[in-house]
Amino acid sequence: MRNIKRHDASDIFIHWFNAGCWLVLLVTGLGLIKNEKLNPLGAWLPDGLRALFGGGSAGGAVLLVIHEVVGVLWVLGLLAYLAVNARGARFFLKEIFSVRPGDFLWLIRKMGRMTLGIGGELPPQGYYNMGQKAFAQASVAGGLAIVLSGAVLLLSDKLLPAAATGLIGWAVTLHYLAVGLVFAGLLVHIYMAAISPEEKPGFRSMFTGHVPADYARHHHGLWLETLDSSGSGEKGETGPR
């Protein structure tokens, strides 16, 4: 069966690098919320992680350094990806922010099918379906908000004057809200991408870079049409790279 290139090696690398950073940032970030009334997981995670890193306030300081260092590495990794594969990044942004007629109908029908088992034929989708686009839009907007608010928090100890307390308060609020938004989407993303049986070829493509043509025709028909009309039979000009 014909295989079609879907992801470049740099796309695959940045995806798993991003996922790894998210995991560490999420765990250490939740561990930093010492107030158990605010921490959705209560006290066990902050206490457990502090104990792991030397206990008490020294353990909290190590946790903060890990969170800050991985946060900075995450941003540097994303910038390095932009430098290596600017074309892939442009393709990604253009695709996720172009919503076509039929996309919302796809979303409504897909949700109807998955929850109630009802819904008509799904309108054909492009490189990303509308569910993937919605999550990717939230990740990009949420990611920007996390980076900007995180930068304010990183600088707050060192450079910002005491008068900037209001700004720091807003940065904390924005940081929490943006992480909450992306995390909510992430639960659906992980289910759809890694657990849902129909998406297994898409999951494998995040390691191999390729999907079977039949899967592409069924799930991303408009993408396959642009490939066929470009005559390349491969991703060519219409793919991320």
Site residues (vs ligand HEM, CB under 6 A):
6, 15, 18-19, 22, 128, 132, 135-136, 139, 182, 186, 189-190, 193-194, 202-203, 205-206
CA–CA separation, 215 and 224 (whole Å): 10
Cβ-proximal residue to ligand HEM, closest one: 202
- Tell me whether residue 176 or residue 203 sits nearer to ligand HEM (CB atom): 203
Q: Shortest Cβ distance from residue 95 to ligand HEM (Å)?
A: 9
- Tell me whether residue 53 or residue 132 sits nearer to ligand HEM (CB atom): 132
Q: Tokens at residue 17, please?
A: 């690098």
For residue 212, the cross-strand partners are 3
Q: Shortest Cβ distance from residue 32 to ligand HEM (Å)?
A: 19
207-222 CB burial, b ≥16 within 10 A, e <16: eebbbebebbeebbee
Q: Shortest Cβ distance from residue 234 to ligand HEM (Å)?
A: 16
CA–CA separation, 97 and 86 (whole Å): 17
CA–CA separation, 132 and 115 (whole Å): 18
- Tell me whether residue 86 or residue 155 sits nearer to ligand HEM (CB atom): 86
CA–CA separation, 203 and 162 (whole Å): 48
Q: Shortest Cβ distance from residue 64 to ligand HEM (Å)?
A: 22
- Tell me whether residue 73 or residue 206 sits nearer to ligand HEM (CB atom): 206
